[in-house]
Amino acid sequence: MELNPYQERAVAASGHCTILACPGSGKTRVLSVRAARLLANHDKGRLCAVTFTRDAAEELRSRILAACGQDHARRLAVGTFHSLALAQIKRFSGGKPPRLLSEGERLAVLWRCWQQHAPNIAFENVVQAIDARKARLTPVPFSDPSLESVFNGYQEVMESDGAMDFADLLLLSVHRMASGGMPPLPIRWLLVDEAQDMDEVQVEWILLHGRAGADITLVGDDDQSLYAFRHALGYAGLRKISTELSATVTTLPVNYRCAPNILAHAAKLIAHNRNRAAKKITAHREDVGEIRVIRAPDRWAEVDQIVETIEKGAQDDEWAILARTNLILDTAELALSGIDRPCVRTGGKSVWEHSIGSVFSGLLRSVVDDSWTGLANALSFCGIHAEWVNEHSRRSFGGCIARLESAIEQAPDDDGSRKTLLRLRIGLASWREQAAKGRATLVIHGVAAFLSDYCTPNQANLLRKLEESLVRMPGSLAQRLLILGRSSQNRRKPAVQIMTLHASKGLEFDNVWIMGCEEGNLPHTDSTEEDERRLLYVGMTRARHRLILSSAIEEGLASRFLDEAGLS
């Protein structure tokens, strides 16, 4: 596997603990080549490589074996922190190992404990608080006593069933190794990928192996630490290991992806962070890329410019549209759905799968196939009590019109329910007739007009855009709905990918457009300024040749980060 001089120097690095700081691309390649050479150059000793996802672990294993040969497979263990800890516990459990809860089972148990002890707190906040407790070696008291009751009840339920969750795996492994009740893995070398994403428990798991004599190699970039909300320690975690194990730090400062002017602005931005390793990031490339900053009147004008720019380019131009939140990306997805380019939404739900989008498309499907679910969801959206809709759905049978007529007879007349049901009954008959005559556009307008009377101003605005998008599509109403439901796997390679800045980490594209660069959004009010600055830095360094950053005047002031990057 061919390496550049800087990567070669990192692979050759030695010492009991080595930290490879890689602000450029190629971290996984460096780690896999280092692992392959350690196995090939030593006849004895086992090597363990750890990362954060199963997909990443499988890729790392295949790269290592491709470089050193299958003969060394028996001396190689590759997995996630959790899979390695589980294997450790099973090996030294001395009996039947604990049963591991699936994510669905975990949330179901938590839900029951939440309902019993803390229904006054949002369930999402309860989950976050318990996850935060389990990412710490030393428990921190909860801010609310009822959270303590949920946690204790949750742990008692799992203990009574002989079960544990993923977070418990690492905590149990660390506590048993620290107390001498279980030895560390019998390995000579331990290599860690994306080390900036380790939390406190994962850092301690690494340290325990280092103290037991394993040679440690960490590969990471503190400037790409994006998961503080998942309790990642970032630079602090790398620094802790460096101090405790007297690590040798080798920096790979050359970026092989970005045009030099794009990288220069990104480096200028990230230099404003104080809590980071000092490094001078340089570009290997010499050609000049394109950078533009756009200030649009409003969000829809912003996405109109995205569409116009993409349509002016070549048919196979590769684009990534990035934003801080999925809500902002909804507007981009809608605008791009009408162009003749393959597009795919990565990570978050499509705009057609939530909120007014799912109600609109669901009611249209009921027009086409006489299914009750879409119509029932529309009734609930229009203000008819969900409990009444559910009860009627269980008690009535037949096609949609028959069930609506039954519902009209049973509906209370004191809250406008009967009027809504009558309107929908009349509308459904008319929409079916128009659909049978091939007048898809009339049906789309009719259904949108019906729903608009029940929308908030923001929902009504989005509904109009959804309506326009469907009207622009070719084919019958059924064919247009089929296009919406088609999975991205069945499309040809997407020329345009739509994703959040978080989801873009580790990827690269010829052209990158970062939208929504406004104060309060980027940096977002829900995070720290340094975390948000790292997020924009990662987004900017996804671009090979062209980078465009845009904002909307109606949404607020342009982000201070543009000024910090020298892009005012």
CA distance 192 to 52: 9
pLDDT band at residue 392 under the 50/70/90 scheme: low
Q: Are residues 121 and 220 in the same domain?
A: no
Least confident of 262-266, 279-283, 339-343: 339-343
Across all residues in the chain, what is the average pLDDT? 85
Task: Answer yes or no: is pLDDT of 424 > 70.
Answer: yes
Binding residues for ATP, by number, are 21-28
pLDDT, tens digit, 9 for 90 and up, residues 496-550:
899 999 988 878 899 999 999 999 999 999 889 999 999 999 999 999 999 999 9
Task: Answer yes or no: is pLDDT of 489 > 50.
Answer: no
Q: Are residues 76 and 193 in the same domain?
A: yes
Domain range holding 302? 282-349+491-565
pLDDT, tens digit, 9 for 90 and up, residues 548-567:
999 999 999 999 999 999 99
DSSP string, 397-410: -SSHHHHHHHHHHH
Binding residues, by number, are 21-28
Task: Answer yes or no: is pLDDT of 487 > 50.
Answer: no
pLDDT band at residue 178 under the 50/70/90 scheme: very high
Q: Are residues 561 and 532 in the same domain?
A: yes
> Are 177 and 92 a contacting pair, CB within 8 Å?
no
CA distance 125 to 554: 31
Give me the residue label for tokens 């909860």.
142
In terms of pLDDT, which residue wins out, 536 or 153? 536
What is the pTM assigned to this prediction? 0.74
Q: Are residues 473 and 361 in the same domain?
A: yes
Q: What is the CATH number of the domain that holds 227?
A: 3.40.50.300
> Are 386 and 406 a contacting pair, CB within 8 Å?
no
pLDDT band at residue 109 under the 50/70/90 scheme: confident
Report yes or no on 268 lying in a domain: no
Task: Answer yes or no: is pLDDT of 36 > 90.
Answer: no
Domain stops at, among 485, 519, 551 = 485
Across 404-432, b (16+ Cβ under 10 Å) vs e yields bebbbeebeeeeebbebbeebbebbeebb
Q: What pLDDT does residue 348 have?
A: 66
Domain stops at, among 438, 465, 485 = 485
What lies within 8 Å, CB to CB, of 307 at 6+ separation is: 335, 336, 338, 339
Residue 304 CB neighbours (<10 A): 15
pLDDT, tens digit, 9 for 90 and up, residues 444-463:
999 999 999 998 888 888 88
Report yes or no on 240 lying in a domain: yes
pLDDT, tens digit, 9 for 90 and up, residues 55-64:
888 888 998 8
CA distance 328 to 351: 10
Q: What pLDDT does residue 313 have?
A: 85
How far is the first Cα of the chain from the last one, in angstroms, to the nearest whole number? Answer: 42
Nearest alpha carbon to residue 234 among 276, 192, 204, 268: 276
Q: Are residues 114 and 204 in the same domain?
A: no
Q: Are residues 191 and 235 in the same domain?
A: yes
Q: What pLDDT does residue 490 have?
A: 37
Q: What is the CATH number of the domain that holds 412?
A: 1.10.486
Q: What pLDDT does residue 198 have?
A: 92
Q: Where are the beta strands (DSSP E) in 106-255?
A: 163-164, 189-192, 215-220, 248-251, 254-255
Q: Are residues 386 and 443 in the same domain?
A: yes
Greatest mean pLDDT range, 31-35, 144-148, 418-422: 144-148
3-state DSSP call for residue 388? helix
Q: What pLDDT does residue 386 have?
A: 64
Report yes or no on 259 lying in a domain: no
Domain stops at, among 466, 485, 504 = 485
Percentage of residues of the chain with pLDDT beyond 70: 90
In terms of pLDDT, which residue wins out, 233 or 548? 548
Report yes or no on 274 lying in a domain: no
What average pLDDT does range 166-181 have in this prediction?
90
Q: What pLDDT does residue 413 have?
A: 63
Take residue 280 and report the two structure tokens written for it. 């001078």
Task: Answer yes or no: is pLDDT of 23 > 70.
Answer: no
Report yes or no on 108 lying in a domain: yes
Q: Are residues 400 and 481 in the same domain?
A: yes
Long-range contacts of range 399-406, CB-CB < 8 Å, 24 or more positions apart?
399/370, 400/366, 400/370, 400/371, 400/372, 400/375, 400/428, 401/425, 401/428, 401/429, 403/372, 403/375, 404/375, 404/428
Percentage of residues of the chain with pLDDT beyond 90: 36
Report yes or no on 462 lying in a domain: yes
Report yes or no on 271 lying in a domain: no
Q: Are residues 308 and 444 in the same domain?
A: no
What average pLDDT does range 214-227 have in this prediction?
88
Task: Answer yes or no: is pLDDT of 141 > 90.
Answer: no
Q: Are residues 478 and 495 in the same domain?
A: no
Q: Are residues 119 and 61 in the same domain?
A: no
Report yes or no on 269 lying in a domain: no
Q: Are residues 149 and 176 in the same domain?
A: no
What lies within 8 Å, CB to CB, of 340 at 6+ separation is: none
Total domain count, the chain: 4
